[in-house]
Structure 1
Amino acid sequence: MFIGCISYLLLIQYSSAQDKPEIDIGGALRFNYNLSTWKDGQKSRGGDFGYDVFRINAKAKYKGVKLNAEYRLYAADFGGGMLKQGWIGYDFNDTDNLQIGLTQVPFGITQYNSHNWFFSINYYAGLEDDHDMGMKYSHKGEKVDYAIAFFKNAEEMSFGSYSDHSDSRYSYDIASKDLDGDGAPDLRNKEVNQLNGKINYKLGQEKTKHKLGASAQYGGVENLDTRKMGKHYALAMHYELSAGKFDLKAQISKYKINTKNPSDEPDNIVAMTAYGYPYFIAAEANTYTLGVGYNIPVEWGPVSNIQIYNDFGYVDKAGENFAETIMNVTGALITAGNVYTYVDFASGKNMPWLNPDFNNSLAQGSATSDDWHLRFNVNIGYYF
């Protein structure tokens, strides 16, 4: 019934829309170089340089109804092909919009709570640039922005009664992972029926702007073995500052995931997956992120701007004897025409992508992940 009402609203307002369809096709090709301190082979050969991603973006608009889709093709080890986003939308006016499909979850600082290529630590717990299947209504006013959304589930690619999530996805979602080494998945959970709300208050003048906001989400977590429904929630306070060439992003978040696992499985960790491979995270934690950036206009041939930045993240886990996770990325974004290059020095402890223990870093941690490690990363992309 709700979808029927939406369709009716779209139809009765079509007369004010344009008569000719608009289509815009774009995309990007990116390559990546990295040198990691925990990889002896990389150190001996001076790092690795290879293919990152090829993506296609499609936007269309006709009679007020819009399409926005992005498909990405990564290397097989990183998940291969996946739809990052794909939604049908409608602008009721200059301030109010509806989107239906695979759309960004309105939680925390959006579009990104970070400046660097790695994103912030929140991304790896499913709290930054997450995209799920549902509908979102957003309002952007002069002083207040807000969004409310309902997500039926994360992006679904298997439609069996109790199918595990595919690991080939762009944003991190609750999923399944083998825990005891027998080759069968454990901790088999899925996010379902999630509600989101977000509000931002905008202050300041043209040269100095402040944005102070709060976000909340609540939903179910279905266990595919016990057939029982748990729950999860997340809360956040966030602040953004834009002052000339300087900007700042700060966020405090809390999440908790209560699962109804079989009695022989732990409930203080949860499996999360994206980019072709799952890992474990603490079922409850507080996260703290702070990022600063500064733009330097230059005239060096095709190079027009260099943004220098530092993004810091800290995860305080609720589990007993769970080790803290720390991540810091110092770097620069170099703009040269359509080419954007991220040069990042990423360091951390108990961070999956920054140490040899990928599985347990965001959960209990381990002796190998509790050491500081460094990854020097350069990502070069041509956007068209």
Structure 2
Amino acid sequence: MNLFNRRTLPALGALPLLAAIALPAGAVAINDNLDIGGAVRARVDYDPDRDIEKLSFDTAFLTASYNSDSWIGAAKYRFYGDAYPYDYTDRIGDISFAEYAWIGYKFDESRQFQVGLNKIPFGLQPYFGSTFFESLGNVIGLEDIQDLGVKYIHQQGDWNLQLGYYLRPADQGQGTSRGGRTYATSVATADDYVVDGSDNHERDILVGRLARNLKLGAWQSEVGFSALTSELENQDTRDSGRRNALAVHYLGKNGPWGVQLQAARQDMTPENPGSDKLVSFGSFDGTFNVAAKGDLYVADLSYDVAGTFGWLSGVKVYGNYSLFDKHESSFEDSQRFILGTSFSLKDLWIAVEWLHGKHDPYIGGGSYTQSLGVGGSDRWENQLYANIGYYF
């Protein structure tokens, strides 16, 4: 059963987008410390192989941020539904969930802690590259992940240390999936349509990240190391396994050029009643299998185009390649290559990306549930994706 259409990255409908264009831009400053904002976004999907040509509603979200001399905080809540790929729902909001919601305290300019649903400090930050669609790191549960817990951040000169303890992943929001009603991709209870699906709950997540800024010739650089370990409680066997992950990364900037590199290893030992070679993950109202053991490699090259061209500004062009090299010899490795550009067009922010993937659950309609596990369609798939956002 191909459930690719149950989940892709955010998209917004044409009518809400056109209505929003008439609104004034800029977050609303409630007072000197509190800002309220949000966005409405549309998406374009073009895949001639599957006869898909769509302009549709992507997402609407609301944000709040607070910043004082000592106290800080932020929250973001997303709404989806009633449009591709969620046209199996009746209304916008039938699928909805928090992206983050946390409060924090600043001891001074170099030390702070955050409590609540906040981003785990693992690998390249804030994302594993320049793309809007994100890398394969996102769908194996390492990139752009928010969990419920406490994070401590300490900046000491050129060194940055972040430590986090998280009780569990985000609470389930609204949707139709058993275990995928979240923004972040996390270990989940598999839906019935996932063959060889598992039911694990992740608990007691410990994460650490140490990075240093330095100059390497003409390149302003950051090098870093990250580690994650957690408990996987299987709800069928009542036994517990573990999830461990390590990563090293490099980020460099030289004028308009940017480079991001990362190598990571994920090693999961679930106590499933069946196969221990697969662990089910979920997000965006869907669940799917991921190989329990594998190495992730990411390379990203970007270029910032200087200047303003009429209404056009902030132009960036980029290429991003990610590989999930699975340790199980009978599993097919997953690959994703993205060429894209992002820019501002007057009051709109736009990303246009050519997606090229193999054994990728979100590109070209391959096997949604098995591509990151045993593998999907054994060929390169292509599609064009664009996201158009009005932020206020």
Within 5 A, what are the aligned runs for 1:7-156?
A: 22-39=33-50, 41-42=51-52, 47-61=53-67, 64-75=70-81, 80-156=95-171
- Determine what percentage of the aligned residue pairs are the same residue: 26
**Could you tell me which residue of structure 1 aligns to residue 313 of structure 2?**
304
Separation in 1 of the partners of 2:370 and 2:172?
A: 26
Greater relative contact order (CA < 8 Å, ≥ 6 in sequence): 2
Whether 1:254 aligns to 2:260 is no
CA deviation string 1:42-81 (max 9, x = no partner): 2xxxx11101111111012456222210111122665711
CA deviation string 1:135-191 (max 9, x = no partner): 000112331011001010001249xxxxx9642111100112246879xx9510011
Counterpart among 293, 300, 321 of residue 291 in structure 1: 300
Counterpart among 243, 249, 254 of residue 238 in structure 1: 249
Runs ≥4 in structure 1, deviation > 6 angstroms? 179-182
Separation in 2 of the partners of 1:316 and 1:350?
A: 11
Whether 1:225 aligns to 2:225 is no
**Could you tell me which residue of structure 2 aligns to residue 276 of structure 1?**
285
Paired letter, 2:293: E
Separation in 2 of the partners of 1:335 and 1:176?
A: 39
Aligned length: 349
CA deviation string 1:99-155 (max 9, x = no partner): 000000000001111211111110110110100000000112331011001010001
User: Helix, strand or coil for the counterpart of 1:92?
Assistant: strand
User: Normalising to structure 2: TM-score of the pair?
Assistant: 0.85
**Could you tell me which residue of structure 1 aligns to residue 374 of structure 2?**
364
CA deviation string 1:239-262 (max 9, x = no partner): 000111111110000001111112
Separation in 1 of the partners of 2:192 and 2:139?
A: 19
Unaligned ranges ≥5, structure 1: 1-19, 159-163
Unaligned ranges ≥5, structure 2: 1-30, 87-93
Counterpart among 348, 355, 358 of residue 349 in structure 1: 358
User: Helix, strand or coil for the counterpart of 1:176?
Assistant: coil
User: Normalising to structure 1: TM-score of the pair?
Assistant: 0.86
| Shift of residue 374, structure 1, vs aligned partner | 0.4
Separation in 1 of the partners of 2:235 and 2:218?
A: 52
Contact 1:97 1:139 in 2 (8 A): yes
Contact 2:172 2:182 in 1 (8 A): no
| Shift of residue 21, structure 1, vs aligned partner | 6.4
Paired letter, 1:126: G
Separation in 2 of the partners of 1:96 and 1:338?
A: 35
Contact 1:104 1:130 in 2 (8 A): yes
Contact 1:21 1:63 in 2 (8 A): no
Closer, same or farther: CA 181–120 of 1 in aligned 2, 3 Å? closer
User: Helix, strand or coil for the counterpart of 1:299?
Assistant: coil
**Could you tell me which residue of structure 1 aligns to residue 22 of structure 2?**
none
Separation in 2 of the partners of 1:119 and 1:336?
A: 22
Paired letter, 2:390: Y
**Could you tell me which residue of structure 1 aligns to residue 9 of structure 2?**
none
**Could you tell me which residue of structure 2 aligns to residue 171 of structure 1?**
184
User: Helix, strand or coil for the counterpart of 1:122?
Assistant: helix
Contact 2:351 2:386 in 1 (8 A): yes
| Shift of residue 206, structure 1, vs aligned partner | 11
User: Helix, strand or coil for the counterpart of 1:320?
Assistant: coil
Larger radius of gyration: 1
